[in-house]
Amino acid sequence: MVDEEKFVEKSEDVLESKPEQADIPKKETRFVRNEIGELKEVPMKNEEEEEFLEDHEDDFLMENEPENKNKSNSSDSKSIIIMIAVIISIFLLIFGGFKIYGSFTGSSVVDVDDMHKDNLDGKLSEDKGYLYNGFSFVKADGLWWTEIQTNSRFLKIPLHFGPKEVEDISIQGQLAYEFNKGKNVYIAIDPKVQNKFYALANSEISFNVAKGINRIPIGACTEESLDCVNRTIVNCENTTGLPVIELELSDEPAKITQQGTCIKISGQGTDYDIVKAADRLLYDWYQVIKTE
């Protein structure tokens, strides 16, 4: 978990030097992380993830901001949104990969498929791999990997927490059938929040909405703001009938609440608490953790 925090902090440093636009990798290359969080540009082997990011870039970035708004407030708010886009781009690039580069020099390569085989043969310690409700989970490069089947596709899913770490987080309430209608899902964030764990949870959800359940994440705001010009304003108290996922920082422990056409993911803004809540919801979607 600490490795990812270093990566997010390095992302923030990069963003401060280029506040106007997120860094999107060139078509011919991709970025991978080494064990200390540094990035390396390597040849791109799968263009599907990059094409999706280009097609939906506007859904992750808030654009068309007024020229006359307060620059200091705008810079902070826009930086957190750009950071989300950068994290999403990195996740999209590693999502379809079959290999994880374990060192900056490329001398050590971890094959996730081989790790799953060793896991099924009982050759891994529990901190490196285990079976959960028929799914194999292995830990590589600071992420927990499993493989799920959705719409006749097999997808390799990397999340920050394994199911054993989040299974006690509660999911309360009932979700209306209308949530599943249409292609768009509105990911509503609080424009006042400046928190790297909040941004990471947002990217984790948006990424899996796009690749895991094959719907389009649309950036939205929970309230009016100069940083939300031309963005849909929705929250769990006012969905206007749209399918909404709202992220909320809270003083209370992580939890998920469903009501009508809205899912609220809430958690504390420290120690990955809200990221755990996001991963708990995803394991419910992928039917890894059975919700009673």
For the full predicted model, state whether its pTM sits above 0.85.
Answer: no
pLDDT for 59-105, tens place per residue? 444 433 444 444 445 555 555 555 555 455 445 444 444 444 333 33
Of 36 and 119, the one with more pLDDT: 119
The three-point CA angle 236-213-4 to 5° equals 80
Mean pLDDT of the chain: 76
The DSSP symbol for 65 reads -
Cα 165 from Cα 173, distance rounded (Å):
22
Annotated domain spans of the chain: 2-100+166-285
Per the CB < 8 A criterion, the answer to whether 261 and 268 are in contact is no
pLDDT at 193 over 80: yes
pLDDT for 98-136, tens place per residue? 444 333 333 345 689 999 999 999 999 999 999 999 999
Dihedral of CA 81/45/211/159: which sign? negative
Helices 48-55/71-95 angle, 10° precision: 150
pLDDT at 17 over 80: no
Element holding 91 (H helix, E strand): helix 71-95
Per the CB < 8 A criterion, the answer to whether 95 and 146 are in contact is no
pLDDT for 257-283, tens place per residue? 999 999 999 999 999 999 999 999 999
Lookup: tokens for 224: 């009016």
